[in-house]
Structure 1
Amino acid sequence: MQRVAAFFALVGAVALVTWQTGFTPSQVLSVTVFAAFIVGTLLYWPFRLAFAFVGVAILLAARLVDIPHLIEFASLDVILFLIGMMTVIGFLEERHFFEAAVEKALPYVGGSAYTLMGAIMLMAFVSAALVDEVTSILFMSAIVIRIARRFHLDPVPYIIMTVFATNIGSSATVVGNPIGVLIALRAGLTFPDFLRWATPIALAALLLTIALSFLYYRRHMHDLHVAIHREGLAGAATRGEAEEPAAAAEASGSDGEGGEGAHERRGSLLFPSLLFLGTVAGLILHKQIEHWLHLGTNTMLVGVALAAAGIVLFVERHRARELVERRVDWWTLAFFLLLFASAGTLRYAGVTEHIAQGMVRLTGGALTPLLITITWSIGALTSVMDNVLAVASFIPIVGDLASQGIQVAPLWWGMLFGGTILGNLTLIGSTANIVVLGLLERHERRSVGFMEWFWPGALTSIPSLALATLLLWLQLPLLTR
């Protein structure tokens, strides 16, 4: 009953504020429906798709959007990209490609707790950048849990540090996070653009996060250091795998099948390696491919993902349908599609233009205040709601700022870092956080309290986002050239 009261109170407050600040009746209704969609999603997360369906139906019935614009706002390019990449990543997970790569690398990191956790955090960063945050945290958390079990340590501090690196790594490239895909396709940014502007800042944020995490968890790092010197690191990552195959399979996202077929999928890594390298190379070179074929910007960003998925389905043949049905998160994609359509309706109704004009009046149109406002507003929203929700709400606003002649290139990057780095602040700040909490509860019977996450999250994410904001500000002359 309290949540019902909170739902109507929050939605009513949004309607009242928009009415009092000069919005037209149609704009008030559009904002109210969108607020009901967002608040309902946050308060009743399992029913988020139901809220999405009902919200879009109301927008259509109230003539706040028509079918052609609904399709335009639905961001089908983003959805198609995610379908392709989910198919490829699902195939690689079932072949245990990522797990094998990490396990082969771990024995070479040395015998110190600091080099071990530094290497794990770096691998989490790189894997999130090259695939996505959820895939990265699935196999990295499985490795960390095995190490903690080997040394009889509480896995939570080490898991949290790994999640921090994963979320930061998801900002380094266009494929690391759905919001990166959304921003790239809306802003016309390419994979090389991310390598130039996002990756160096993400690396700087990672180094600061590693240092601050080691400081906060210095007692746990000492315990790991003592355990490594007492028992040795060799086999820590892989020991116990034979004893607990079901848990390892579930943590890595595999189907847990036994027998000859499962063994063959794990043992044959040549094709998965070639597929992974080819897909990454195609994504990096998509701009050159578009130039050679005289295609529009980012056409082959989507095309490479779909081509790689097609190759996977040819290889899988009889298991192709099963792979697509199980590995593509259709529930989430349907939610994203309706979310993007609903957020686009705000622009169609003139709401985002009204907000953009208000921001210009508040900041005088100066780029530095706008950069700080956008970056930290997205970050604050991300810490209490899904980052895709936060970014999807702001993209039309940035688009309207651009239509008023404001140079918005730095704002896109501010949105990216606000939506990823400050996801480390709370338990629900990113999808990776929620996924790893479920893994801990399922496999370790260990729950994490809000403050247990918040204090290390605050110590690391706030300075890291401040550093990212500073580095963007220092590069404003280059970004606006």
Structure 2
Amino acid sequence: MQRFIAFVVLVAAVALVTWQTGFTPPQILSVTVFSAFIVGTLLYWPFRLAFALVGVAILLAARLVDIPHLVEFASLDVILFLVGMMIVIGFLEERRFFEVVVEKALPHVGGSALSLLSAVMLMAFFSAALVDEVTSILFMSAIVLRIARRFHLNPVPYIIMTVFATNIGSSATVVGNPIGVLIALRAGLSFPDFLRWATPIALAALVLTMILSFLYYRRPLRELHQAVHRVGLSADPADAERAAAGEAAAAGNPGHAAGSSTPDLRFPSLLFVGTVAGLVLHKQLEHWLGLESNTMLVGVALFAAGIVLLVERHRARELVERRVDWWTLAFFLLLFASAGTLRYVGVTEHIAEALVDATGGSVPRLLVAITWSIGALTALMDNVLAVASFIPIVGDLAAQGIAVQPLWWGMLFGGTILGNLTLIGSTANIVVLGLLERQERRSVGFMEWFWPGAVTAIPSLILATLLLYLQLPLLIG
């Protein structure tokens, strides 16, 4: 009952504010429906798709959007890219590609807790950058939990540090996070653009986050250091094999049976390298083929997914049904369509004009305002919700002749780095909390996450904002 009252009060407050601001009746209704969608999603997370479906139905019935524009706003290019990558990543996971790579790397990291955790955070960063944050946190958290069990330590501090690195790593490339895909396809940014502008800043934020995390978690770091010296880092191969077999059996993955040897990774390795190379070179492919910008960003993901399904043959349908998160994709599609409606009725243009008036049209001021607004919203809701809400606003700023290139990067870092601030700041956070509850019977309190998040995320976003500010002449040029 309390949540329902909160829902009604918040939605009514938004409607009242828009009415007093001078919005037209269609704009007031559009903002009210969209806010009901967002608030309902936050308060009743398991039913978010229901709120999305009802919200879009109301927008259609009220003639606030028509079918052609609904399809246009739904961002099918983003959805298709995510479908393709989910199929590829699901296949690689089932072939144990990531698990084997990580387990082969860990014994070479040295004998201290500092080097071990540094290696784990670096692997979390790069795996999130090369695949996506959810896939990365799934197999990296399995490694961290295995380490914590071996040394009989509380896994929460080490898991939180791993999530921090994962979220930051998801900003380094276009494939690391759905918001990166969304921004790339809306801003016309390529994989090399991310390597040039996002990756160096993400690495700088990672280094600062690691230093601050190690200072904040001095005691857990000392406990791990003592345990490593007492027990040793290398795990018993039989224990590791039994653990891998048990995890596989629980997940129902083929080729993962107890007693199985290291899988043949020749084709998975070729697929992984080929897909990443195709994404990196998609601009060149588009130039050679005379295609529109970012056509092959989607095309490479779909082609790689098609190869996977041909290789899987009889298991192809099972792979698509089990590994593609259709629930989340349907939610994203309706979210993008609903956010696009705000632009259709002129709400985002109104907000863009207010931002220009408040900042005087100054790109540095807009950069700070949008980066930290996205960050604040991300801390209160999922980062995809926050970024999807702002993309039409940035589009209207561009229509007013403002150089918005720096603003896209500010949105990216605000939506990823400040996702570390709270429990619900990113999908990776929510996923790992579920893992801790299911596997370790441990829950993490809001403040238990918030304080290390504040210590690391706020300085890291300040650093990212400063580095973007220093490069403004290059970005605008």
TM-score, normalized by length of structure 1? 0.97
- Unpaired segments of 5 or more residues in structure 2? none
Q: Show the counterpart of 1:432.
A: 428
Q: Secondary structure at the match of 1:241?
A: helix
Q: Show the counterpart of 2:382.
A: 386
Q: Show the counterpart of 1:364.
A: 360
Q: How many residues matched?
A: 477
Of 382, 401, 415 in structure 2, the residue corresponding to residue 419 of structure 1 is: 415
Distance 1:247 1:442, change over 3 A: farther
Q: In the TM superposition, what is the alpha-carbon distance from 1:257 to its structure 2 partner? A: 4.9
Q: String of CA shifts for 1:75-94, please: whole Å, max 9, x gaps.
A: 00000000000000000000
**Distance in 1 of aligned mates of 2:378 and 2:411:** 10
Q: Show the counterpart of 2:162.
A: 162
Q: In the TM superposition, what is the alpha-carbon distance from 1:369 to its structure 2 partner? A: 1.0
Distance 1:294 1:424, change over 3 A: same
Q: Show the counterpart of 1:248.
A: 247
- Unpaired segments of 5 or more residues in structure 1? none
Q: String of CA shifts for 1:269-326, please: whole Å, max 9, x gaps.
A: 1110100000000000001111111111000000000000000000000000000000
Q: String of CA shifts for 1:335-389, please: whole Å, max 9, x gaps.
A: 0000000000000000000000000000110111110110000000101101000
Distance 1:239 1:111, change over 3 A: farther
Q: Show the counterpart of 1:27.
A: 27
Q: Contact 1:386 / 1:430 at 8 angstroms: preserved in 2?
A: yes
1:260-275 → structure 2 map (5 Å cutoff):
263=260, 267-275=263-271
**Distance in 2 of aligned mates of 1:248 and 1:167:** 24
Of 295, 298, 302 in structure 1, the residue corresponding to residue 291 of structure 2 is: 295
**Distance in 2 of aligned mates of 1:257 and 1:319:** 10
Q: String of CA shifts for 1:447-470, please: whole Å, max 9, x gaps.
A: 111111111000000000000000
**Distance in 1 of aligned mates of 2:125 and 2:447:** 24
Q: String of CA shifts for 1:150-197, please: whole Å, max 9, x gaps.
A: 111111111100000000000000000000000000000000000000
**Distance in 2 of aligned mates of 1:224 and 1:458:** 23
Q: Contact 1:183 / 1:412 at 8 angstroms: preserved in 2?
A: yes
Q: Contact 2:242 / 2:258 at 8 angstroms: preserved in 1?
A: no
Q: Contact 2:249 / 2:257 at 8 angstroms: preserved in 1?
A: no
Of 378, 389, 395 in structure 1, the residue corresponding to residue 391 of structure 2 is: 395
Q: Contact 1:245 / 1:256 at 8 angstroms: preserved in 2?
A: no
Moved more, 241-250 or 318-327: 241-250
Q: Contact 2:420 / 2:426 at 8 angstroms: preserved in 1?
A: yes
Distance 1:389 1:262, change over 3 A: farther
**Distance in 2 of aligned mates of 1:193 and 1:158:** 32
> Partner amino acid for 2:320?
V
Q: Show the counterpart of 1:309.
A: 305
> Partner amino acid for 1:356?
A
**Distance in 2 of aligned mates of 1:267 and 1:414:** 41
Q: Show the counterpart of 2:317.
A: 321
**Distance in 2 of aligned mates of 1:38 and 1:262:** 48
Distance 1:262 1:132, change over 3 A: farther
Q: In the TM superposition, what is the alpha-carbon distance from 1:395 to its structure 2 partner? A: 0.1
Q: Show the counterpart of 2:197.
A: 197
- Aligned-residue CA RMSD in angstroms? 1.5
TM-score, normalized by length of structure 2? 0.98
Q: Show the counterpart of 1:348.
A: 344
Q: In the TM superposition, what is the alpha-carbon distance from 1:246 to its structure 2 partner? A: 6.3
Q: Show the counterpart of 1:218.
A: 218
Q: Show the counterpart of 1:280.
A: 276
Q: Show the counterpart of 2:69.
A: 69
Q: Secondary structure at the match of 1:297?
A: coil
Q: Secondary structure at the match of 2:240?
A: coil
Q: Secondary structure at the match of 1:267?
A: coil
Q: String of CA shifts for 1:118-164, please: whole Å, max 9, x gaps.
A: 01100000000000000000000000100111111111111100000
Taking every aligned residue pair, what percent have the same amino acid on both sides?
80
Q: Contact 1:246 / 1:256 at 8 angstroms: preserved in 2?
A: no
Q: Show the counterpart of 1:338.
A: 334
> Partner amino acid for 1:443?
Q
**Distance in 1 of aligned mates of 2:81 and 2:246:** 30
1:170-209 → structure 2 map (5 Å cutoff):
170-209=170-209
**Distance in 1 of aligned mates of 2:259 and 2:27:** 55
The answer as to 2:174 corresponding to 1:141 is no
Q: Contact 1:247 / 1:443 at 8 angstroms: preserved in 2?
A: no
